[in-house]
Chains A and B, each alone.
Chain A
Amino acid sequence: MTSHTTVHTRTLAELSAGLAAGDYTSVELTKACLSRIEQHDGEINSFITVTADNALAAAKVADDRRAAGSAGPLTGIPLAHKDIFCTQGVKTSCGSKMLDNFVAPYDATVVSRLQEAGMVTLGKTNLDEFAMGSTNESSFFGAVRNPWNTACVPGGSSGGSAAALAAGFAPAATGTDTGGSIRQPASFCGVTGIKPTYGRVSRWGMIAYASSLDQGGVFAKTAEDCGMLLQAISGFDEKDSTSADEAVPDFNGGLNSDLKGKKIGVPTEFFGEGLDAEVKALIETALKQYEAMGCELVEVSLPHMHLSVPAYYVVAPAEASSNLSRFDGVRYGHRCDNPEDLADLYLRSRAEGFGDEVKRRIMIGAYALSAGYYDAYYLKAQRIRRLIRDDFTKAFESVDAIAGPVAPTTAFKLGAMKGDPVQMYLSDVYTLALNLAGLPGMSVPAGFADGMPVGLQLIGKHFDEAGLLNLAHQYQQKTDWHSKMPAAFA
């Protein structure tokens, strides 16, 4: 009972040890998280739904499990799920009015695997509507604010998860990353986030935005914590045809491997004009740190990277326009009042249920796939996608990993991107290419510019999450950026 009031400063690994040592129970830990959420979430709006009763019941079960001697490393640890993962019996809104009344009848694989590990779900975090956005302002449930400066956005689309973590509401949170939706909010909120290789984590129960780009992942305070969570959610799932039947290694087994002789690729394209000078300086400092740890920095080139923005904004909306057709007001979700006829039911239910950004992307996607435009837009984008992937393949012939900034700037002010979608799209220029290529990537806290966090992006080869975690962990042994907390939430 002595220490659980400050548990929000602890890493997941520390909490796991504390639970194992009997320093506190899961119920105490859970209550501490719930009380912080209750006291402070009004300031940042990171949760859409808090499931206090379920959480306390699950915590009790976790404590019983520990008493019975069958607890695992994650048993009893509270976490928050991005409200894009279906949770049985709990509202799953995807940040949309469309699903404001939707109670999922099943659990996503990510959710059930973490539940089996004994984790305690605190609730569902806010996000950009249907994960479409980089600021978390498109949520039907209101914008999320950045705990480091509540006048700023937390990034998106997994802004609620990143902000909840940064505010110390939970030691772990899930997210999804279609174009940077884990890495960019992790960067903006000063937490560690990992987007695994496409196919590493099952998409079953993860509401689809763009099927060939979406990938589930996690946020935590450290790389080690991320590894523990990733261990639980990774691996083949027969319910997802795109899930890779690939052996899951012990992600944290190599955390302490020496980095001496590792080659880190530094793409010139990540450091050109337009990158904020302070952000650039911080990333360069981080790279020097790697040199100091014995890594060799190698200049590489990703000549087609600048085309990732246009290619992404064809592929993602095209898939989204089709994925979101199921929201028609027939079997679940928002239905307009008194539809005159079938067309009216569709037109109004969808118009009322979706926000502007979702409508824009649906329309762009429908247009890109429509008769006469398919080749010029969709196929063209998929060809560019191959060029982008091949650029990475070539770069990885000479390096073990690639590093650079996550975003050109720190977190934007709320409203700064309003009314100009293109401007917001362009801010994803460093993150989109990974999704197109299916590569794993991380954001690791690397300092502050003007008081706002900056993340270092680490990019690995397909299925080399362990290599990334090793790189990030070693960096976190030499730096303490990841353990900083915003003063207002310390």
Chain B
Amino acid sequence: MEWETVIGLEIHAQLTTNSKIFSGSATTFGAEPNTQASLVDLAMPGVLPVLNAEVINCAAKFGLASNSTVAKHSVFARKNYFYPDLPKGYQISQMELPIVHDGYLDIEFEAAGKSDGKLATKRVGITRAHLEEDAGKSLHEDFQGMTGIDLNRAGTPLLEIVSEPEMSSAKEAVAYMKKIHSLVRYLGISDGNMQEGSFRCDANVSVRPVGQKELGTRAEVKNLNSFRFIEKAINHEVERQIDLIEAGGAVVQETRLYDPDKDETRSMRSKEEANDYRYFPDPDLLPVVIDDAFIEAIRAELPELPDAKRARFESEFKLGADDARQLTASREVADYFEAALAAGGEPKQAANWVNVELAGALNKADLSLGESPVTAEMLGGMLKRLADGGLTSKMAKEVFAAMWDGEGSADEVIEKRGLKPTDSSEVEGIIDGIIAANPGQVEQFRSGKEKVFGFFVGQAMKATKGQADPKQVNDLLRAKLKG
């Protein structure tokens, strides 16, 4: 039987606020246990929540950037369940009236069986995005056979972004998640740090025979905190479900945990028992009401978003689609590129350096862009020299390596190392000499043997000890060989 996969994602993005959603505690990652847990976070008797204004700004930004409706009236509700990392015995979330709803994003992905090399596109609906508080952490190291509870994270603001069940492959799911990841970082509302858990995802996965209308029974796969895991986990889960059905079994609606070490999902039955969350509007909080003026003010604050930036890069800098996509995939890279370009470089060259040379060096050194020893200004200085003929592209690689090693700016390296492209009259003289000394090869070339051209280039580079600009050598040789 032919199977079709249906995937919906619930993404939790931790919002980059200074303080928690309902208390004045800091949200810094990695603090000593329970040192960022205030009376409110600890759910001491008698404490009350007060909503952080910034989380409303963050949610509204996301709403506008995802073509969604930003609700003028939203309500916080309590989701009741007992768990030691949930101090109040309920999580403050939003249920019936979320702050953001009914939007969409367009994604691009490599489609299976598509041979023209172009990416496929798809519009994925966003059902809703609601605000809620994060829980604390359970630490399972052995404390006299007990679990330790750290509530520093309790009350950290989250935006839970729920998609429609409209993705039909792990690749689409990853593309969608990357799109959201890029968007929240562009908006500056989340740092998207997946290692620290500030961007994570649960996937609702089901399969159905091709042609069947109704959805199959879904399983919720939790704990997906890397793009690689999400793809593997979904693929694994799809296979598991198909195998199960084909063997005559049935999928059970349940929560499953992805184990990246074993590359498998397993049932979390412990969480399944009698989940009745008894949602109701939190009586300690009042409805959040915002007006058009607020929404317009947020709209005015929005940065240029990835799709718009990419279109601009293509038109303004005449970049190809691939270069533009790569450069705008993250706001940091796009900003780096534009900053480097501002020094006076040539766009295509700049794109190439950022996407290839710099990306390669960072990758090799396992550094993030923010940690690059070569700043955008430094690369810009180098690109400027490249553009004004002060450097050959070969020299540029040397300059880049030197800048990487901390030898200073491009101009400083050039001066220190006495780098200078060979003078063109000098190159001309050398070329004239080579032509004069090799009449046989000249004859062959002129009679149409294009291959001989390489011989002349080789001779010229040898004579200039590799210092000549290959482009200059090429141009001069062509002109002179034509006779």
Which residues of A pack against B, CB within 8 Å? Answer: 85-86, 92, 94, 99, 102, 104-106, 108, 203-208, 210-212, 238-242, 318-319, 321-322, 324-328, 330-332, 342, 346, 366, 369-371, 374, 378
Contacts and interface: CB of A to CB of B under 8 A. Distances in A.
B46 A204 contact: yes
Interface in B3-54: 39, 42-51
B227 interface: no
Interface in B419-472: none
Contact of B90 (A99, A206, A239, A325): A325
A108 B278 CA distance: 29
Nearest to A343: B82
B80 interface: yes
A214 B258 CA distance: 45
Contacts of A332: 44-45
B89 A328 contact: yes
Per CB-CB distance, the 5 closest pairs between chain A and chain B, nearest first, are A325-B89, A369-B278, A211-B283, A212-B283, A326-B43
B291 interface: no
Contacts of A106: 39, 44
B280 interface: yes
A331 B80 CA distance: 18
Contacts of A205: 46-47
Contacts of B149: 330
B84 interface: yes
A325 B50 contact: no
B285 interface: yes
Contacts of A99: 45
Given A105-B39, A207-B45, A326 B88 contact: yes
Interface in B76-108: 78, 80, 82, 84, 87-90
A328 B283 CA distance: 21
Given A369-B280, A374-B280, A239 B44 contact: no
A242 to B, nearest CB: 7
B284 interface: yes
Contacts of B286: 241-242
A371 B82 CA distance: 17
A207 to B, nearest CB: 4
B2 interface: no
B475 interface: no
Contacts of B45: 86, 92, 94, 99, 102, 104, 207-208, 326-327, 332
A189 B17 CA distance: 51
Q: By CB atoms of chain A within 10 A, which of B48, B51, B279, B284 has the most?
A: B48
A328 B82 contact: yes
Q: By CB atoms of chain A within 10 A, which of B45, B51, B78, B284 has the most?
A: B45
B50 A241 contact: yes
Given A242-B283, A332-B45, 15 more contacts: A85-B46, A92-B46, A208-B45, A208-B46, A238-B50, A240-B50, A241-B48, A241-B286, A242-B284, A322-B89, A325-B90, A328-B82, A331-B44, A369-B80, A369-B279
B276 interface: yes
Contacts of B84: 328, 330, 342
Nearest to A211: B283
8 contacts: A86-B45, A86-B46, A108-B46, A207-B45, A239-B48, A319-B283, A326-B43, A370-B278
Nearest to A382: B281
A370 B285 CA distance: 21
A301 to B, nearest CB: 29
B46 A239 contact: no
B80 A322 contact: yes
B283 A239 contact: no
A235 B238 CA distance: 59
A488 B312 CA distance: 89
Contacts of B284: 208, 211, 241-242
Contact of B48 (A240, A318, A370, A374): A240
B46 A206 contact: yes
A99 B44 CA distance: 11
A301 B49 CA distance: 38
A346 B86 CA distance: 13
Given A241-B286, A374-B280, A326 B87 contact: yes
A319 B282 CA distance: 8
B276 A326 contact: no
A328 B49 CA distance: 20
A332 B149 CA distance: 13
A318 B280 contact: yes
Contacts of B78: 322
Nearest to B285: A241
Contact of B280 (A94, A204, A322, A326): A322
Contacts of A322: 78, 80, 89-90, 278, 280
Nearest to A106: B39
Given A325-B90, A326-B45, A210 B283 contact: yes
B135 to A, nearest CB: 13
A331 B276 contact: no
Contacts of A207: 45-46
B84 to A, nearest CB: 6
Given A325-B80, A326-B45, A326-B88, A241 B278 contact: no
B275 to A, nearest CB: 9
A342 B81 CA distance: 13
B19 to A, nearest CB: 14
A239 B89 contact: no
Contacts of A85: 46
A259 B43 CA distance: 47
A318 B286 CA distance: 17
A402 B223 CA distance: 59
B74 to A, nearest CB: 14
A96 to B, nearest CB: 10
Contacts of B48: 203-204, 239-242
Contacts of B47: 204-205
Nearest to A102: B45
A124 B88 CA distance: 25
A241 B87 contact: no
Contacts of B39: 105-106
Contacts of A378: 280
Contacts of A369: 80, 278-280
A307 to B, nearest CB: 20
A345 to B, nearest CB: 9
Contacts of B87: 326, 330-331
A335 to B, nearest CB: 12
B296 to A, nearest CB: 25
A350 B9 CA distance: 37
A465 B283 CA distance: 24
A321 B49 CA distance: 18
A108 B48 CA distance: 11
Contacts of A241: 48-51, 284-286
A330 B276 CA distance: 22
Contacts of B278: 321-322, 366, 369-371, 374
Given A211-B283, A241-B50, A105 B44 contact: yes
Contacts of A331: 42-44, 87
A18 B43 CA distance: 43
A379 B51 CA distance: 25
Q: By CB atoms of chain A within 10 A, which of B39, B278, B286 has the most?
A: B278
A378 B283 CA distance: 13
Nearest to A84: B46
B46 A325 contact: no
Contacts of A342: 84
Nearest to B49: A241
B285 to A, nearest CB: 5
A92 B50 CA distance: 23
Contacts of B44: 86, 104-106, 331-332
Q: By CB atoms of chain A within 10 A, which of B49, B284, B286 has the most?
A: B284
Contacts of B42: 331
A327 B88 CA distance: 8
